[in-house]
Amino acid sequence: MFKIILFASFVVCIVADPPDINEYHRRRNTLSRNELRLTVGGNMTLSDKESEVNNCIMQLKFQEIDYAFDHPRYYNFSQHYFKYKDTMRKRRLYQILKVMPKGALLHVHDMSLLGPDYLMNITYMQDLYVCLYKETVGFRFSSKTPNAPCKGKWQDISKVRSSVENVTKFDEELRKHFTLVVDDPDTVYGCITDTWTKFMDYFLTVDPLLTYRPVWEKYFYDALMKFREDNVLYVEFRSVLPSLYELDGTAFDPVVTAKAYRKVIRKFVKDYPDFIGAKLIYAPSRRVNRSVLSTYLQIAKDVKNDMPDIFAGFDLVGQEDLGEPLIEFAPQLLEASESLDYFFHAGETDWLGTLTDENLMDAILLGAKRIGHAYALAKHPLLLEEVIKNDIGLEINIISNAVLSLVRDVRNHPLSTFLSKGLPVVISSDDPGAWEAEPLTDDFYVAFVGAASRLADLRLLKQLALNSFTYSSLEDRQKIEALRRFKRNWDSFINNFKCPL
C-alpha cells in the first residue's frame, strides 16, 4: 500500500503544469491595480490636460522621494517639522501645491491662525501694557494702567521699548512667546508634556493680546485673507468664544464674540465675493465638570438660534489625555445631540485602551459628523467600519500631530493607512500660526510627499479638496455652489499650468 501511494504522488508531480510566470505577473498586476483603486481618489479619472499636469507633478515627487530613498539621512520627513519647514517651501512641488486650489479648511483654532510676526506688529499698537516677570510676559490693552493680575508691574510697552538699549534683541525675545518654533526641538520638546506645556503657555500669552475687540476683528479678517491667498475657499474654525474687551475694561459675553465673527465674515465675503465664507464650531475646554458643560451647551444653543448662518456645531478641546473623557458627559451630550451637530476631537493619543483612546468610540456613538485628529483610529478595526458605514469625516492634522509629539517620522502617521483604505479624509492644519505654517499648503505637501504612497498622484490631491466640501457643514445647495466655484478655480489651475521642469 505504501508503494502505491508513493507512485500516485509521483504521477501527480509529473502531470501537473509547471508554475507560469506570466500568470503570476497577471495576478500581481491585478492585486496592485485593485489596491490602488481602494485608495482616496483611486477611482477618479483624469482629463487629458490633468494627466499632463499629473506627469509633471509625479516627476517632481519621484525626484524627492527617490533621492531620499537613496540618501535616508537627508530625508526631511524623518526629522522634526521645525528642521525642514523652511527648506521644503523652496521645492518646486511645494510651489505647485501652493497655487493649487485646496478646497476648504475644516479644522483650525482661532487663537492660532496667524504667526508670530503678525502678533509682533500688534505689540506696536497704542494703549498696550505689558507685564514682564522673569521668563513670563502678559499683555493688556487699556486706557490706563490695567487692573489685572501681574506678578511684576504693568508698563506701557512703548515706554519699555524706548528704555531698552537694544530694541532688536528685546523684540527677538518677545517673539519667542508667540511661537513654538525653536532651533533644537528634539531637546526642548523631549516629551508630549513639554510640548503641551509650551503650547498652553502660548495661548495664555496671546489671549489678552488678541481679545481686545478692535484687534480681534482685524485679526480674523486678516486671517481670512491669509486663507484665501493660500487658495482656500471656505473655513470652519473652532473657537472657545473668549470674552472680548474694550479699553475701559468692558467685557462681553460669548454671544457677542460670535456676533463679531459674523460681522467680519459678512464684510470679508462682501469684499471678496469669490470666497465662500466661514462657520464657527464652538469648542470650549474639556477640562470641566458636568455643571460647566451644561453652561457650554446652552451657549452653543443660544449662538445657533441667534446666528444659524455661521454656526456649525460643538466640540470640546484641550490636551485629550488630561481632559475629561466624552463618556463622562455622555448623558448630557446625547440629549443635546437632538439640537447640536458634533465635531469632536477624539483619539489624539499614542495610548491604546485608555479613556482617551476610547473617546473615538463615544464620538461615533454620539453621532459626530466629523472626528478631529482620529490619530488612534487605525488601531480599532470595528470603529473603522463604523466610520465608513456612517460616512464620518476624519480631520487629519499631520503637522500638528508631529509637532505635538505624537509621531516623529510622518511615514509612520496613520494617515497612510487612512488613505490606502479610501477613508473619508480631510486635510487640515489645526494651529498653523503657533508653528509658523502656511494655512493649508504645508499640511498638503507633508501629507502628499511624506505620508501618502509614492504612487499617489493628482487624483489624491483633487479628491482631498473635494472631500473638504463633502464633509463640511455647508447645506446641500451651498455645497453645490462651493463645488461649482472650486471647479472653476481647478480648471483655471489646470489650464494655466506650466511645468517647472
**Each residue's pLDDT tens digit, 223-239:** 999 999 999 999 999 99
223 with 283, same domain: the answer is yes
166 and 215 housed in the same domain: no
Predicted local distance difference test score (pLDDT) of residue 501? 86
pLDDT digits (tens, 9 = 90+) for 178-209: 999 999 999 999 999 999 999 999 999 999 99
**Per-residue pLDDT at 2:** 42
| Residue at 11 is within a domain | no
Any domain includes 303: yes
pLDDT value for 44: 96
pLDDT at residue 11 in the model: 45
Say what the pLDDT of residue 15 is. 55
Buried b / exposed e along 176-188 (16+ C-beta atoms within 10 A): ebbbbbeeebeee
Q: Is the separation of the CB atoms in 235 and 203 below 8 Å? A: no
| Other beta carbons less than 10 A from residue 266's beta carbon | 13
- Give Cα 193 distance to the centre of its chain: 20
User: Is 353 inside any structural domain?
Assistant: yes
Regarding whether 214 and 169 lie in a shared domain, the answer is no
Residue ending a domain, choose from 178, 202, 220: 178
313-352 burial, b if ≥16 CB within 10 A, otherwise e? bbbbbbbbbebbbbebbeeebeebeeebbbbbbbbbbbee
Q: Which domain holds residue 327?
A: 82-114+191-495
| Shared domain check, 359 and 305 | yes
**Residue numbers annotated as active site:** 348, 373
Residues 474 and 424 in one domain: yes
Extract the residue ranges of the chain whose pLDDT is less than 70. 1-16
Statement to judge: residues 306 and 356 lie in one domain: yes
Q: What CATH number should be reported for the domain holding residue 424?
A: 3.20.20.140
Same domain, 161 and 226: no
Mean pLDDT of the chain: 95
DSSP calls for 98-140: HHS---EEEEEEGGGSS-HHHHHHHTTSTTEEEEEETTEEEEE
Q: What is the pLDDT of residue 85?
A: 96
The label of the residue with cell 501618502 reads: 452
Q: What is the pLDDT of residue 17?
A: 73
Q: Where are the beta strands (DSSP E) in 16-123?
A: 104-109
Compute the half-sphere exposure of residue 237: CA atoms within 13 Å on the CB side of its CA.
25
C-alpha distances (whole Å) from 109 to each of 91, 106, 165, 260 are 28, 10, 37, 16
285 with 171, same domain? no
45 located within any domain: no
Name the pairing type of β-strands 277-282 and 234-239: parallel
Q: Are 332 and 307 in contact (CB under 8 A)?
A: no
Q: How many Cα neighbours within 13 Å face the side chain of 417? A: 12
Count structural domains, the chain. Answer: 2
